[in-house]
Structure 1
Amino acid sequence: MSVERECQGACLCGAVTLSVAVAQHKVSVCHCHMCQTWGGGPLLAIDCQDRVAIDGEESVSVYASSEWAERGFCRHCGTHLFYRLKAGDHYEIPAGLIDNGEPWKMTLQIFIDEKPAHYDFANETRTLTGAEAFEAASGSAGS
């Protein structure tokens, strides 16, 4: 049974701080081309559902990266703050943004069919292609 825990994070310049409630200490990895372009590699993210409080919202810029999702970043320092679904405000927060020392466990990799050959993760996880990820999310809010 997971225990919900409050975690804190901030952008590089400190203009934006986040407070997130995390029920499961799981990290998911997205290898899609959009995440690779956004961050120069895969997105390692924590699913925070809609339990995110943002302080310094006037410093947050949001980019509509698709018909269904948008990405937020600090307009001063460029730190990636979130990926969220437009419908329902389902948030994925970059794992490196919030408190260190949490007992995170990588459990899922999506868009495995778009992962470049120049890296691999050593731990075993569940993997989904892009089509499988969309299929899995079609019945519920997902990454």
Structure 2
Amino acid sequence: MTEMTGGCMCGRIRYSAEIENDEAYLCHCRMCQRATGNVSIAFKNVKRAKVKWEREPDYHASSPIARRGFCAQCGTSLTFEYAEDKPSENIDLTVGSFDDPSCFRPIHHFGVESLHEAWLDTGALPRYRADEYKPLTDRWIKSVGKIPD
């Protein structure tokens, strides 16, 4: 078991989680698409008892059966969990909220009735580095004096 840390973009909400493996999944359901404003979201399913929050996330009841944890200050999506009288044993953490999301690998797709095939196989598309895009780097240098990590 490995302990990993994560949190929101502004740093207001932080967590640590004991991770058992590198398996994650992509959810394509319309609820996740709308909640994140994206075509899918990557989740890591973990034991609720293995997640320790420095500060609890804010929550939104995204449907009658589920709620989503997020940061009300910066808007980062952090969790998905079923909203029941007795909380389920597991919770989903957003892969992108981990400090090092590179260790996870997708093992399946969920909510495939809303999957957008064109967004899956993007290997042939041109690739551009953000740190080499001059209009962006100039803005960072002007604003804070450096390019962020």
Partner of 2:16: 19
Q: Distance in 2 between matches of 1:118 and 1:23?
A: 32
- Choose from 53, 67, 75 the match for 1:78: 75
Q: SS of the counterpart of 1:80?
A: coil
Partner of 1:110: 110
| 1:17 Cα deviation from its structure 2 partner | 0.2
* 1:28 aligns to 2:30 (yes or no): no
- Greater per-residue helix proportion: 2
Find the structure with the greater CA-based Rg. 2
Q: Distance in 1 between matches of 2:47 and 2:121?
A: 25
- Choose from 36, 48, 62 the match for 1:39: 36
Q: Distance in 1 between matches of 2:121 and 2:64?
A: 30
| 1:84 Cα deviation from its structure 2 partner | 1.3
| 1:67 Cα deviation from its structure 2 partner | 2.7
Q: Normalising by structure 2, what TM-score?
A: 0.71
Partner of 2:54: 55
Q: Normalising by structure 1, what TM-score?
A: 0.74
Q: Distance in 2 between matches of 1:72 and 1:78?
A: 10
Partner of 1:98: 98
Q: SS of the counterpart of 2:32?
A: helix
| 1:118 Cα deviation from its structure 2 partner | 3.4
Paired residues of 1:22 and 1:47 also in contact (CA < 8 A)? no
Q: Distance in 1 between matches of 2:97 and 2:32?
A: 16
Q: Distance in 1 between matches of 2:70 and 2:115?
A: 24
Percent identical pairs in the alignment equals: 25
| 1:89 Cα deviation from its structure 2 partner | 5.2
Counting only pairs closer than 5 Å after superposition, residues 131-142 of structure 1 correspond to structure 2 as none
Q: SS of the counterpart of 2:99?
A: coil
Paired residues of 2:35 and 2:62 also in contact (CA < 8 A)? no
Paired residues of 1:47 and 1:91 also in contact (CA < 8 A)? yes
Q: Distance in 2 between matches of 1:61 and 1:101?
A: 22
Moved over 6 A (4+): none
Q: Distance in 1 between matches of 2:119 and 2:101?
A: 25
User: What are the ranges of 5 or more consecutive residues in structure 1 without an aligned counterpart?
Assistant: 124-143
RMSD of aligned Cα (Å): 1.9
Partner of 2:4: 7
